[in-house]
């Protein structure tokens, strides 16, 4: 089983940077991993990605060095196990409500005695029955990381108890859902979001765990690092492509080129 870049860095108290890839093309995963990012966030909660597709994407990422952190939907514990078996190093679990639910996530992500994960061994993580069972179990427990998302104020209020769960490596504030559920959609600078970040940071510090969230910019990342965050997710491939195309259009429009950009409200045939 491959060693986790993220677990190794966190153990040295080094910050880690992940990017979100929503374009399900193996070349994008291979490219990102070869470029040396610490991790790739593969989202199966909101995006149309099957476990079979995820297997090919994670396989492509193994060409480089990046860990893959996969996010199933809330309560999808069978899918969680399959994502680990196809080679994900970490699980991001969304909408966690309590320490009891966090404990259940750990149970499905870790083998005994740390959890109750079922063993197969014939998939890429073992890999393919090439490791003795005892060694595989030990290595999998060492290298697999669990990220618990806190995405509403009630869950944030329980951050101390969730952080105390053995096997939880990272507390992660889901700022988007937190803002929506708090009635302040998209207001990431709102005092209620800031208060939630501070509560989670304090809970992680008291439990000796790591914490993180999404970052909007290098300056925002510095702000988070100064407050003890070490697990940073920044940017997504779809946004980078969109902004790149917008830059092309802004550069070529003065040369006389016209674009019917429906995302900006242009009508079909306007070009």
Q: Report domain extents, the chain.
A: 5-264
Contact (Cβ atoms closer than 8 angstroms) between residue 70 and residue 90 = yes
- pLDDT bucket at 270, cuts 50 / 70 / 90: low
Longest CA pairwise span in the chain (Å): 67
pLDDT over 80 (residue 269) = no
- pLDDT bucket at 53, cuts 50 / 70 / 90: very high
Q: Which residues of 45-65 are buried (b: 16+ CB within 10 A; e: fewer)?
A: beeebeeeebbebbbbbbebb
Residues 204, 207, 213: CA angle, nearest 5 degrees = 15
Give catalytic residues, as residue numbers.
46
pTM for the full model? 0.95
Q: How much is the CA Rg of the chain, to the nearest whole Å?
A: 20
pLDDT over 70 (residue 268) = no
Q: What is the mean pLDDT of the chain?
A: 96
Residue pLDDT, tens place only, 173-203: 999 999 999 999 999 999 999 999 999 999 9
pLDDT over 90 (residue 113) = yes
The CATH superfamily holding the domain 5-264 is Phosphoenolpyruvate-binding domains (3.20.20.60)
pLDDT at 266: 78
Cα 109 to Cα 6: distance, rounded to the nearest angstrom: 16
pLDDT at 76: 97
Tell me the two tokens of residue 61.
Answer: 């990422």
pLDDT at 135: 97
Residue pLDDT, tens place only, 62-85: 999 999 999 999 999 999 999 999
What value does the mean pLDDT take over residues 92-99?
98
pLDDT at 180: 97
pLDDT at 201: 98
DSSP calls for 16-54: EEEEE--S--HHHHHHHHHTT-SEEEEE-SSS---HHHH
């Amino acid at each position: 089983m491959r060693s986790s870049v993220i677990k190794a860095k966190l153990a040295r108290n080094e910050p880690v940077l992940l990017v979100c890839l929503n374009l399900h093309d193996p070349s994008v995963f291979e490219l990102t991993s070869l470029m040396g990012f610490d991790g790739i966030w593969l989202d199966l909660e909101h995006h149309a990605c099957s476990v079979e597709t995820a297997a090919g994407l994670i396989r492509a990422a193994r060409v480089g060095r990046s860990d893959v952190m996969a996010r199933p939907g809330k309560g999808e514990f069978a899918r969680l196990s399959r994502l680990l078996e196809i080679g994900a190093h970490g699980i991001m679990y969304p909408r966690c409500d309590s320490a009891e639910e966090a404990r259940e996530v750990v149970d499905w992500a870790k083998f005994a005695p740390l959890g109750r994960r079922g063993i197969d061994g014939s998939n890429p993580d073992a890999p393919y029955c090439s490791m003795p069972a005892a060694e595989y179990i030990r290595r999998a427990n060492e290298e697999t990381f669990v990220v618990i998302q806190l995405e509403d104020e009630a869950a944030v209020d329980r951050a101390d108890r969730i952080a105390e769960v053995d096997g939880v490596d990272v507390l992660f504030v889901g700022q988007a859902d937190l803002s929506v559920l708090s009635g302040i959609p998209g207001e990431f600078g709102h005092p209620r979001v800031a208060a939630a970040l501070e509560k989670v940071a304090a809970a992680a510090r008291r439990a000796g765990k790591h914490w993180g969230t999404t970052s909007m910019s290098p300056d925002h990342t510095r702000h988070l690092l100064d407050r003890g965050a070490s697990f940073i997710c920044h940017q997504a491939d779809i946004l980078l492509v969109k902004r790149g195309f917008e830059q092309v259009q802004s550069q070529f429009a003065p040369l006389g080129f016209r674009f019917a950009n429906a995302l900006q409200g242009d009508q079909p045939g306007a070009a």
